[in-house]
């Protein structure tokens, strides 16, 4: 068995074991295998095994890797995870199924325009600046409700959930729990939070999508 596939299977077993020990009912999350910087030959063992969700941060890299693969494996769901510039939206919409980093009305408008061209309805997460960090993108908590309403009413976007990148020097649990409360306040079902170093904490708090890269594929090239 390829070592990357073995890593994924072990992660799934670990998650199942931890959830089985919980007194409260927690649903198994979707694992996004973050395949940025990895060549397709390192990803194929997971694809052939039947894993569905994959994440990329760079538009050009994704376009070099995924279009042909997605034609051959049409059940694959491709997630755009990185900072998305408006001039790149026209390349993202035709090839991706999810966007995790909506953080401005300008970007929302551009996505809306491009979706109509392709008759697509991407599933979109609003990125929340949950730690109020000046160096990170994301919608401020105080503006989140108005931002969500504008995206839905003015641009008819399919907002399925919220995403966050919590401060990486502090225990993220309180930020994950804040995300849960924000999600409930907007009646959203999905939460994209947790990466290779904190996905267990995120899952126990209620993440429905976790973004795992190095734990599956090793260090980035």
Q: What is the pTM of this model?
A: 0.96
Question: What count of other Cβ atoms lies within 10 Å of the Cβ of residue 219?
Answer: 7
pLDDT tops 70 at residue 86:
yes
> The domain that contains 118 carries what CATH number?
3.20.20.10
Burial of 141-178, coded b for 16+ CB within 10 Å and e otherwise, reads eeebeebbeebeeebebebbbbbbbbeeeeebeebbeb
Give bridge partners of residue 3 from the DSSP assignment. Answer: none
Residue 99's domain comprises 3-217
Each residue's pLDDT tens digit, 18-51: 999 887 788 899 999 999 889 999 999 999 999 9
Position 1 scores a pLDDT of 84
**What's the domain count of the chain?**
1
What's the start-to-end Cα distance of the chain, in Å? 22
Q: Is 120's pLDDT higher than 70?
A: yes
């Amino acid at each position: 068995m390829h070592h990357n596939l073995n890593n994924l299977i072990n992660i799934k077993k670990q998650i199942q074991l931890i959830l089985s020990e919980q007194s409260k009912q927690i649903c198994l999350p979707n694992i996004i295998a973050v395949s940025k910087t990895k060549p397709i030959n390192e990803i194929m063992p997971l694809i052939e095994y039947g894993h569905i969700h994959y994440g990329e941060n760079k538009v050009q890299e994704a376009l070099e890797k995924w279009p042909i693969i997605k034609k051959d494996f049409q059940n694959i769901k491709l997630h755009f995870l990185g900072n998305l510039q408006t001039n790149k939206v026209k390349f993202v919409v035709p090839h991706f199924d999810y966007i995790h980093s909506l953080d401005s009305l300008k970007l929302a408008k551009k996505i809306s325009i491009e979706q109509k061209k392709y008759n697509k309805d991407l599933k979109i997460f609003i990125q929340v600046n949950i730690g109020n960090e000046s160096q990170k993108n994301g919608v401020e908590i105080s503006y989140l409700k108005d931002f969500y309403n504008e995206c839905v009413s003015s641009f008819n976007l399919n907002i399925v959930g919220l995403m966050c990148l919590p401060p990486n020097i502090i225990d993220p649990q309180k930020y994950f729990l804040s995300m849960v409360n924000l999600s409930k306040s907007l009646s959203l079902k999905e939460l994209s939070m947790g990466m290779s170093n904190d996905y267990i904490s995120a899952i126990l708090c209620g993440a429905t999508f976790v973004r795992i890269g190095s734990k599956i594929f090793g260090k980035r090239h």
